[in-house]
Amino acid sequence: MKGGLAVALGAGAIAAAPLVASTYHVLLMLPFMAYAVVLLGLNLLFGYAGLVSFGHALFIGLGAYTGAFLTTHAKIRSLEVILLAAAALGALVAVPVAALCVRYVKIYFGMLTLAFGMVFYTFVLKFYRLTGGDEGLPFLRPSLLGQSLDAMPKTDYLVGPYYYYSLAVLGLAALGMWRIVHSPFGLCLKTIRDNPAKAETLGIGVTRHRFYAFVISAVYAAVGGALLGPPTGNVDPTLAYWTHSGNIVFMTLLGGFTSFFGPVVGAFVFIYLQNWVMSVVPYWRLIFGAMLAVIVILAPDGLMGFVTRRRPALAGRT
Amino acid sequence: MAAGLQVVFGVQKIFNLACGSFYALGAYVGVSAVGWYVGAGGPPALFIVPLALAGLAVGAVGIVVERGLLRFVYDRDETFQLLMTFAIVLMMEDAIRLTWGTAPRSTAGLYLAYGQVQLLGATAPVYNLIVIAASLAIALAIGWLLARTAFGRIIRATADNREMAEALGVDMRRVYAEVFTLGTALGTLGGALVIPTTAAMSEMGIELIVEAFAVVVIGGLGSMRGAFGGALVVGVLRAIAISVYPELEMLLIYLIVIAVLAARPRGLFGGAAA
Amino acid sequence: MILEAKGLRKLYGEFCALDGVSLGIDAGEFVSIVGPNGAGKSTLINILTGVVRPSAGTVRFKDREIGGAGPARLARLGMARSFQLVHVFPDLTVLETLQAAVVARLGRAARLFRSLARDREVQAGALEVAELFGLADKRHVPARQLPQGDKKLLDVASAFALKPVIILLDEPTSGVSTADKTAIMDTLVTASKRIGLRAIVQVEHDMDIVFAYSDRIIALHQGKVLADAAPGTILADQRVMDTVIGRKAASPRALSC
């Protein structure tokens, strides 16, 4: 029950943050919560199905652009509608992509997802009229639960209603994912990660399970991507760029893919650390690259690895 | 340039996301070398010499990267190897930014130092022909290296069966270091040679890596002949795309990769493997 | 007849691994497939379990043609198998491994939001098999930490947890000490009665095990059925005994069919 207590404390701390922390830090919590949603989904693929995608920026971008497009072009401002649309579109795009990608594993899977991600990136960049090209699209302030909050000053809106809205989405997303990984489906995914040939002889449809996991993770990424938009008020193609895909894999690894909340912790640490490093020197990639190298070599279970002390499945296998 | 990627992947079974970064590095160093050369009063006609030398020399980075980072992950899952090369990408990107700044660099003017020729009714700068000839020469040289020399035999043996090669007394550490350095040098040399035709940008590596990946995938992983065929296919298709609808040039490459992986996972030229 | 193969032939290029093998497995039988290395035993079991598609011939299981149907579909039809080399899920515990099999058997593998912990049928089913195979004490141990013998047992147990009609075991006792071999076989036979298994087919090198447990022995040699008879008959046939257990190793061959 220690785990439950830690989660309750974490959730409590996030909920209390706007009351005690400075606005600056509270604003940083917004991308953290958005990424946390993305990573919960990504880790279903990475930690539970053993597939590392280098193209999930596609779905983040898709979610973010869905929101931007709806608010600017379609005059739809309801965040509920935006999130649902992002989820639906994420699933829609994920179906063909997943159908192709899950036929491969390891490096082929990684490179194929990267190629798909870059197709989307190129699309966003080139179809200027729809996406605004490299300038991106504005993401107008969405209304929450039918309440238009346009009159509110931007910061008040973000640290107030939008903050708690994000937290609620994150909570729901975590709850949903918790149920998924503790369901029969989740167990079957783990068998596939550990030994696909054996899973097959037990009558578990390997490709089918990987496919579902991919689609679910894409939906999570799209929802998280849509949440990334309102804090900056703008979405641009870098969201869909392949290094962005790499960064979210990095976050997952940083927190630890072997534990359920590892990626959430990873997102938190990544965002704060990146912000802090950038305030000191502009070359955060240099430092983060070195950090990633160290993690890969010395601590493949990430930060949560120090807590759980369980040898990861992937690291020991060749 | 896919040659470098191909050699490294074939032997070490590591897919190097960072090869694009090496390419960019070669380009920047090439620009600097040429700038220094011209500044020192060297005859413009010979600028290709310092360019090529700089490209080759900076390939030494390969040793540092291999010894310092990659050797730790040889026994790990491929995913971790991929992530390690991603870490290198991140570091290299900022290292380049730190050294050369963010503005694009070019060797303006020198590109046409060799003049132009009429070829099949089109005008082509002589330099382009030199680069094409050089790539062919490099590819042939590597083919020869792999097929005829003792070093080549060791590399091929390692690629086929690492344990067996090790049992026969091959020093795996040295082979890996040499192969990786060779692959890196091919990448940096490629970057340096291509630079007079374009400008060095920190992003240039990324397009390359996808392109090289496309070449390799189309050709079939780990096959040298395949890399050739793949390069040809990609080159021709790009040329067509540019003349028909330039917007879609890169898009087309990604789509080819996806199509090939969907239809012929072992590549168009890949043989039947187990 | 539960499982029936007719005229199976498998070519790998010029090499003929199986050359017209026919066999049938009846309900209630324990059949062992024996033969020297390279006789085609592995190819045969891979064809029978749908992993490899035969070049010619048919396999019928429960009156259905199953040539190359794929292991997942066969598992759902009621055919389970274990591998020569131990196949476990390194990071899953004994109980989780068995639960996965039970989940698959009950067709609940795609249940996304149901709680596994509250699925009584799955929990009870997994525990029952764990007890049957004497793994109940170790049910929370990850498979990677089990001793070799227990890994083998878990591999077989997970196949049993599918409650199959027939089970094909590829060297169920290979890599296990002689003392453990009999124990594994006894557990296996007891368990098969408890879960209502209709037939067992095994590939086995250990002739003591083969003669002690089999109702019938099929001897393969150079891709053909050399003998198909009760253990007593096989023992009396000097020619078969020489080929199958004789000291001389199988001669290398590259026959074309």
pLDDT recorded at residue B209: 65
Cβ count within 10 A of residue A213: 27
Report yes or no: A183 at the C interface, CB cutoff 8 Å. yes
pLDDT recorded at residue A40: 92
Residue B218 has pLDDT above 70, yes or no: no
Q: Which residue has the tokens 């083998």?
A: C152
Looking at beta carbons, which residues of chain B come within 8 Å of A114? 210, 213
User: Is B114 or C180 the better-scoring residue by pLDDT?
Assistant: C180
Residue B221 has pLDDT above 60, yes or no: no
Q: Which of A198, A205, A313 lies nearest to residue C91, judging by beta carbons?
A: A313
Asked whether residue A90 is domain-assigned, the answer is yes
Find out whether A112 and A100 touch, Cβ atoms under 8 Å.
yes
Q: In this complex, do B80 and A118 lie within 8 Å of one another by their Cβ atoms? A: no
Residues B25 and B144 in one domain: yes
Measured CA to CA in angstroms, residue C66 lies from A126, A305, C51 at distances of 50, 46, 10
Report yes or no: A52 at the B interface, CB cutoff 8 Å. yes
Chains with ≥3 Cβ pairs under 8 A against A? B, C
Residues B9 and B130 in one domain: yes
Residue A111 has pLDDT above 90, yes or no: no
List the single best residue of C82, C99, C102, C103 to mutate versus A (max A Cβ within 10 A).
C103
Nearest CA in chain C to A313: C91
Query: CA of A221 to nearest chain B CA: how many angstroms apart?
Result: 20
Residue C99 has pLDDT above 50, yes or no: yes
Asked whether residue A267 is domain-assigned, the answer is no
Q: Which of residues 287-316 of A touch C (CB under 8 A)?
A: 313
**Residues contacting C102, CB < 8 A, separation 6+:** C121, C122, C125, C126, C129, C161
A50: left (phi over 0), alpha (psi -120 to 50) or beta: left
Residue C204 has pLDDT above 60, yes or no: yes
Give how many domains chain B has, as a whole number: 2
Query: CA of B89 to nearest chain A CA: how many angstroms apart?
Result: 8
User: Is A206 or B111 the better-scoring residue by pLDDT?
Assistant: A206
pLDDT tier for residue B168 given thresholds of 50, 70 and 90: low
pLDDT recorded at residue A256: 82
Residues B126 and B143 in one domain: yes
**CB burial readout B87-100, b (16+ within 10 A) else e:** bbbbbbbbbbeeeb
Asked whether residue A153 is domain-assigned, the answer is yes
User: Which is it for strands C199-203 and C166-170: parallel, antiparallel or unpaired?
Assistant: parallel
Residue A212 has pLDDT above 90, yes or no: yes
CA nearest B250: which of B219, B192, B216, B204? B204
CA nearest B97: which of A4, A68, A108, A281? A281
Q: In this complex, do A293 and B87 lie within 8 Å of one another by their Cβ atoms? A: yes
pLDDT tier for residue B75 given thresholds of 50, 70 and 90: low
Q: What is the pLDDT of residues C111-143, one digit of tens each?
A: 777 778 778 888 888 888 888 888 888 888 888
Residues B76 and B42 in one domain: yes
Report yes or no: C109 at the A interface, CB cutoff 8 Å. yes
pLDDT tier for residue C89 given thresholds of 50, 70 and 90: confident
Residue C90 has pLDDT above 80, yes or no: yes
Query: CA of B211 to nearest chain A CA: how many angstroms apart?
Result: 10
CA nearest A315: which of A46, A100, A15? A46
C78 DSSP 8-state letter: T
A147 DSSP 8-state letter: B
**Residues contacting A57, CB < 8 A, separation 6+:** A117, A121, A239, A240, A241, A242, A244, A245, A248
pLDDT tier for residue A220 given thresholds of 50, 70 and 90: very high
pLDDT recorded at residue B228: 60
Q: Which residue has the tokens 């167990």?
A: A187
Q: In this complex, do C96 and A190 lie within 8 Å of one another by their Cβ atoms? A: yes
Q: What is the pLDDT of residues C176-190, one digit of tens each?
A: 777 778 888 888 888
> In this predicted complex, what is the ipTM?
0.79
Residue B194 has pLDDT above 80, yes or no: no
Size of interface A-C (CB pairs under 8 A): 115
pLDDT tier for residue A117 given thresholds of 50, 70 and 90: confident
Q: Which of A115, A126, A318 lies nearest to residue B258, judging by beta carbons?
A: A115
Nearest CA in chain C to A312: C91
Nearest CA in chain A to B69: A293
Range of the domain at A75: 30-240
Asked whether residue A25 is domain-assigned, the answer is no
Report yes or no: A6 at the B interface, CB cutoff 8 Å. no
Residue A17 has pLDDT above 70, yes or no: yes
Residue C255 has pLDDT above 70, yes or no: no
Report yes or no: C119 at the A interface, CB cutoff 8 Å. yes
Q: Which of A107, A116, A288 lies nearest to residue B82, judging by beta carbons?
A: A107
Measured CA to CA in angstroms, residue A47 lies from A98, A169, A230 at distances of 17, 22, 29
Q: Return the top range by mean pLDDT from A25-34, B191-200, B234-243, C188-197.
A: A25-34
pLDDT recorded at residue B54: 73
Residues B59 and B156 in one domain: yes
Residues B274 and B219 in one domain: yes
Instruction: Give the end of a domain, one of B201, B216, B234.
Output: B201
Averaged over B174-195, what is the pLDDT? Answer: 72
How far apart (Å, rounded) are the C-alpha atoms in residues A202 and A128? 50
Nearest CA in chain A to B251: A119
Residues B17 and B102 in one domain: yes
Find out whether C205 and C229 touch, Cβ atoms under 8 Å.
no
Looking at beta carbons, which residues of chain A come within 8 Å of B84? 292-293, 296-297
Residue B107 has pLDDT above 70, yes or no: no
How far apart (Å, rounded) are the C-alpha atoms in residues A116 and A139? 24
pLDDT recorded at residue A314: 42
> Read out DSSP for chain A?
-HHHHHHHHHHHHHHHHHHHS-HHHHHHHHHHHHHHHHHHHHHIIIIIT----S-THHHHHHHHHHHHHHHHTS---BHHHHHHHHHHHHHHHHHHHHHHHTT--HHHHHHHHHHHHHHHHHHHHH-HHHH-GGG-EE-PPPBBTTB--TTS-HHHHIIIIIHHHHHHHHHHHHHHHHHHHTSHHHHHHHHHHH-HHHHHHTT--HHHHHHHHHHHHHHHHHHHHHHHHHHHTEE-GGGGSHHHHHHHHHHHHHH-TTSSSHHHHHHHHHHHHHHHHHHH-S-HHHHHHHHHHHHHHH-TTHHHHHHH----HHHH--
Cβ count within 10 A of residue A275: 14
Angle formed at CA C19 by CA C13 and CA C20, multiple of 5 degrees? 135
Residue B63 has pLDDT above 90, yes or no: no
pLDDT tier for residue C249 given thresholds of 50, 70 and 90: very low
How far apart (Å, rounded) are the C-alpha atoms in residues C232 and C239? 14
Residue C37 has pLDDT above 60, yes or no: yes
Instruction: Give the end of a domain, one of B170, B185, B201.
Output: B201
Query: CA of A119 to nearest chain B CA: how many angstroms apart?
Result: 6
Q: How many residues does chain B have?
A: 274
CA nearest A306: which of A271, A261, A255? A255
How far apart (Å, rounded) are the C-alpha atoms in residues C112 and B60? 52
User: Is B52 or A28 the better-scoring residue by pLDDT?
Assistant: A28
How far apart (Å, rounded) are the C-alpha atoms in residues C126 and A22? 52
pLDDT tier for residue B170 given thresholds of 50, 70 and 90: low
Query: CA of C96 to nearest chain A CA: how many angstroms apart?
Result: 7
pLDDT recorded at residue C247: 43
Reduced to 3 states, what is the DSSP secondary structure of residue A252? helix
At the top level of CATH, which class does the domain C3-245 belong to? alpha beta
Residue C104 has pLDDT above 90, yes or no: no
Range of the domain at B7: 2-201
Asked whether residue A307 is domain-assigned, the answer is no
Measured CA to CA in angstroms, residue A311 lies from A87, A167, A241, A316, C89 at distances of 34, 31, 32, 8, 14
Nearest CA in chain C to A47: C91
Chains with ≥3 Cβ pairs under 8 A against B? A
- B–A contact: 3+ Cβ pairs < 8 A: yes
Measured CA to CA in angstroms, residue B118 lies from B126, B238, C58 at distances of 10, 21, 66
pLDDT recorded at residue A172: 93
Q: Which of A52, A116, A283 lies nearest to residue B79, judging by beta carbons?
A: A52
Q: Which of A123, A296, A314 lies nearest to residue B84, judging by beta carbons?
A: A296
Reduced to 3 states, what is the DSSP secondary structure of residue A301? coil
Residue B162 has pLDDT above 90, yes or no: no
Report yes or no: A272 at the C interface, CB cutoff 8 Å. no
Residues B146 and B156 in one domain: yes
Residues B108 and B62 in one domain: yes
Give the global pTM.
0.81
Helices and strands in chain A, H and E counts: 16, 2
Averaged over C243-250, what is the pLDDT? Answer: 55
Residue A123 has pLDDT above 60, yes or no: yes
Find out whether A253 and A42 touch, Cβ atoms under 8 Å.
no
Instruction: Give the end of a domain, one of B201, B222, B256.
Output: B201
pLDDT recorded at residue A151: 80
Report yes or no: A180 at the C interface, CB cutoff 8 Å. yes
Averaged over B25-40, what is the pLDDT? Answer: 73
Q: In this complex, do B95 and A243 lie within 8 Å of one another by their Cβ atoms? A: no
Q: In this complex, do C111 and A176 lie within 8 Å of one another by their Cβ atoms? A: no
pLDDT recorded at residue A88: 94
Q: Which of B165-174, B185-194, B240-249 has the lowest mean pLDDT?
A: B240-249
Give how many domains chain A has, as a whole number: 1
Averaged over A168-180, what is the pLDDT? Answer: 91
Looking at beta carbons, which residues of chain A come within 8 Å of B80? 296, 300, 314-315
Averaged over A228-248, what is the pLDDT? Answer: 85
User: Which is it for strands C30-34 and C216-221: parallel, antiparallel or unpaired?
Assistant: parallel
- Both structure tokens of A184: 């029969």
User: Is C14 or B7 the better-scoring residue by pLDDT?
Assistant: C14
